[in-house]
Amino acid sequence: MVRVLVTYFSATGNTKALAEAVAEGVRSVEGVECVLKTVPQTTNADWLAADGIIVGSPTYFGQMASRVKQMFDATVAIYGKLEGKVGAAFTTSGGAGCGHEMTNMSILTAMLVAGMVVQGTTQGPHFGAFAVGAPDEKALQQAREMGVRVATLCKRLAISGQLSAVSD
């Protein structure tokens, strides 16, 4: 079975709400298991066991939160073993123009450096789901759709044999 890890850090509950919507989207795809964990609960073993990894963070100074960065820093112990896994990002911010796109890009940059395959969309938001403040229904729907896209891509790669080849 294909496994997608949704991991997030949330200080106010806004990022948690978005994470739950992402997980709902992942779980709606038949044949895909979703593991939802906070960043402090997430280990390198979780990263290795997942075929897809979706990371969420509040926007702090236009970047991912330091706790999320620490999680990425810890993956140096498994460097090279994440190559080919599917990745995506989501974020929340305190206001419009507060750096949510830059935050998602900071997460996606870390994933690309790790050799991960990044899932985007032409429909927007292009760099990953986001919410300004508490997620409204539009943000929650975009998060669910992102979860579906990542889960579907993981499943396609698994069926073609590409995902297992890079995960072994």
> pLDDT tens digits, residue range 92-140?
998 777 778 999 999 999 999 999 999 888 888 999 999 999 999 999 9
CATH of the domain at 34: 3.40.50.360
Q: What's the structural domain count of the chain?
A: 1
Tokens of 68: 């999320």
Where in the sequence is the domain holding 146, given as residue range(s)? 2-167
What is residue 167's predicted lDDT score, i.e. its pLDDT?
Answer: 45
What is the rounded distance in angstroms from the CA atom of residue 55 to the CA atom of residue 116?
13
What is residue 163's predicted lDDT score, i.e. its pLDDT?
Answer: 63
What is residue 94's predicted lDDT score, i.e. its pLDDT?
Answer: 84
User: Is the sign of the CA dihedral 136, 138, 139, 141 positive or negative?
Assistant: positive
What is the rounded distance in angstroms from the CA atom of residue 1 to the CA atom of residue 33?
7
What is residue 120's predicted lDDT score, i.e. its pLDDT?
Answer: 85
Note whether 118 and 108 are within 8 A (CB): yes
Q: What is the DSSP letter of 4?
A: E
Tokens of 13: 């509950």
Strands 32-38 and 86-93, sheet pairing: unpaired
What is residue 134's predicted lDDT score, i.e. its pLDDT?
Answer: 96
CB atoms within 10 A of CB 78: 13
What is residue 19's predicted lDDT score, i.e. its pLDDT?
Answer: 98
Note whether 58 and 65 are within 8 A (CB): yes
> What tens-digit pLDDT sequence spans the chain (168 residues)?
999 999 999 999 999 999 999 999 999 999 999 999 999 999 999 999 999 999 999 999 999 999 999 999 999 999 999 999 999 999 999 877 777 899 999 999 999 999 999 988 888 899 999 999 999 999 999 999 999 999 999 999 988 776 644 444
What is residue 162's predicted lDDT score, i.e. its pLDDT?
Answer: 67
